[in-house]
Structure 1
Amino acid sequence: MFTGIVEEVGRVVAIEHHEGRSVLTVQAQTVLEGTRIGDSIAINGTCLTVTALTPTTFTVEMVPETLRRTNLGDLVVGSGVNLERSLTPHSRMGGHFVQGHVDGTGEVRHIRTEGDSRVVLFSAPENVLPHIVPKGFIAVDGVSLTVVERLDDGFSVAFIPHTLAHTIAGEYREGTRVNLEADILGKYVANIVKQYMTQP
C-alpha cells in the first residue's frame, strides 16, 4: 500500500529483457534508505519487489502482464521514474490509499498553463472512467491527484509547481503514456453496487 506522495525521481540505468521477464535497475537515493531485498517500491505507481540492491541502485523484475498493463515497457536508459516506498505503520497519510495495482494507461491529450499551475487533460480507458469522480482521487504514474473535471473519454488535473518539480509530471508532453489507478474506495463501492444490481 502507498500514499501517492512521490519521494524522489529515480533514473533508469539498465534494462534487460529475458524470456518471460524483464529486469529493471534504477538509480536512487531516498528510497534506498532502510530498503531490503523483498521490499516493495512503486515505480510510476506500479508496485514491484526489490530483487537486488547496491549503495546507489535497486533492481526489480517485471513479468509480461506488468508490461502489458503499464507504461514501464516504454522506459529506456535515462528515463525518469516516480518512486515511493510502501507504507509503514508510522507513515503519514498525505495522499490517498494507492495499491500500486495499475488499472490501465492513459495519454496526455493537452497541457495548458493556468497561473502557476499546469492543467493536464488525460485520456482514460473504459475500465477506469466509471471510477473517476470530479474532486475525487486518482493516481497518475503513482502521484496522488485531485480530479478537476471528468469528461466522456478522460479527465483533467491541475499540477502545482512543487509536483511538477519533484515528479516526472514536469516532463509530460502531448502523447506521453501514463499509468492510471482509480481510487480503491470507488472501485469497491462500484463492485458492491454492481452485485446488487445484477441480483434477481
Structure 2
Amino acid sequence: MFTGIIEEIGTLRRVYRQGKAMMLTVGARKVLEDVALGDSIAVNGVCLTVVAFDSESFTADVMPETFRQTNLGELASRSRVNLERAMGAKKRFGGHIVQGHVDTTGRITSRIPEENAVVFTVEPEDKDVLRYVLPRGSIAIDGISLTVIRVTEREFAVSIIPHTLAETVLADKGAGEQVNLETDILGKYVERLLTFRKGDEGGSASHNAKKGGLTEAFLAENGFL
C-alpha cells in the first residue's frame, strides 16, 4: 500500500522488452536506502516488485497484464518516473490509500496555469472509472495523490500546486500525453459489496449492478431491516 506522496523522481536506465513483458532498471537514491529483495516500489503509480538492486538502481519485472493496463510500455531509456516505497507502519499518511493497481490510463487534454497552480484536465481511456471520481475526492495520477476539482461525463480536472509540480514527472507532461489513473479504493469496494449476488462471483461490479443493485429485499435478507 502507498500514500501517493512521491519520494523522488527516478531515471530509467535500461528497458528490456520481450513481447508484452518488460524488465525495468531504474536509477534512484532515496527509495534504495532500506531496500530488500521482494520489496514493493511504485513506479508511476504501478506497484512493482524489486528483483535485483545495487547502490544506484533497482530492477523490476513488468508482466503482460501490467503492460496492457498502464503507461509503462511507453517508457524509454532516460525517462523520468515517480517513485514511492510501500508505506511503513509508522509513516504519516500524507495522501490517501493507493494500492498501485492502475484502473486505466488517461490522456491529458489540457494544462492551464491558474495563479500559483496548474490545472490538468484528463480524459480516462475507460470512461466507466468516472463513476468513482467525485469533486473534492482523491485520485492518483502516475502515483500522485491529488484532489479532484471537477468532473464531467468525459473527463476530470485536478489543480497542482508548485511543490507537487516540481517534485513529480507531471512537470514534464502536457496535452496529449498518457498517465496512469487509480481511483479511490473506497468507492470500488462499496460498489462491489452492494451489488454482489451469490452465483455472480465472476461478474464485474457494474455488471452485477445492472442485475438488481441495492434493494429493500436485499437489505432485509442480510439483516439490515
Aligned to 2:30: 30
Report the 3-state secondary structure (helix = DSSP H, G, I; strand = E; otherwise coil) of the residue aligned with 1:3: coil
Given the superposition, is the C-alpha separation of residues 148 and 20 from structure 1 closer, same or farther in structure 2, using an over 3 Å criterion? closer
CA distance in 2, matches of 1:194, 1:146: 27
Code of the aligned partner of 1:141: D
1:117–1:161: 8 Å Cα contact kept in structure 2? yes
1:115 to 2:115 alignment: yes
Q: Which has the larger radius of gyration?
A: 2
Structure 1: how far apart are the matches of 2:77 and 2:33? 23
Give the % identical residues.
46
3-state DSSP of counterpart to 2:196: helix
SS for the counterpart of 1:185 is helix
1:144 offset after TM fit, Å? 0.3
- 1:89 maps to 89
Partner residue of 1:44? 44
**Please, which moves more after superposition, 66-75 or 181-190?**
181-190
Q: CA RMSD in A?
A: 1.3
> How many aligned residue pairs are there?
200
- Offset of 1:19 from its aligned partner? 5.1
Find the residue that maps to 2:107 and give its secondary structure: strand
User: Does the 8 A contact of 2:20 with 2:67 survive in 1?
Assistant: no
Does the 8 Å CA contact 1:103/1:127 hold for their aligned counterparts? no
- Segments ≥4 residues shifted beyond 4 Å: none
Structure 2 partner of 1:175: 176
Structure 1 SS opposite 2:36: coil
Unaligned runs of 5+ in 2: 198-208, 218-225
Letter in 1 for 2:177: T
Partner of 1:65: 65
TM-score where L is the length of structure 1: 0.96
Amino acid of the structure 1 residue aligned with 2:165: L
Q: Tell me the alpha carbon deviations over residues 77-124 of structure 1, each in whole angstroms, 9 at most, x when there is no partner.
A: 111100000011111100000000000100100110000100010001
Partner of 2:149: 148
Shift of 1:192: 2.2
State the Cα distance separating 1:20 from its structure 2 match: 6.0
Q: What do the CA deviations read for 1:142-166 (whole angstroms, capped 9, x no partner)? A: 0000000011111000000000000
Match of 1:132 in 2: 133
Determine which structure has the larger strand proportion and give its number.
1
Q: Secondary structure at the match of 2:68?
A: helix
Question: Unaligned stretches of 5+ in structure 1?
Answer: none
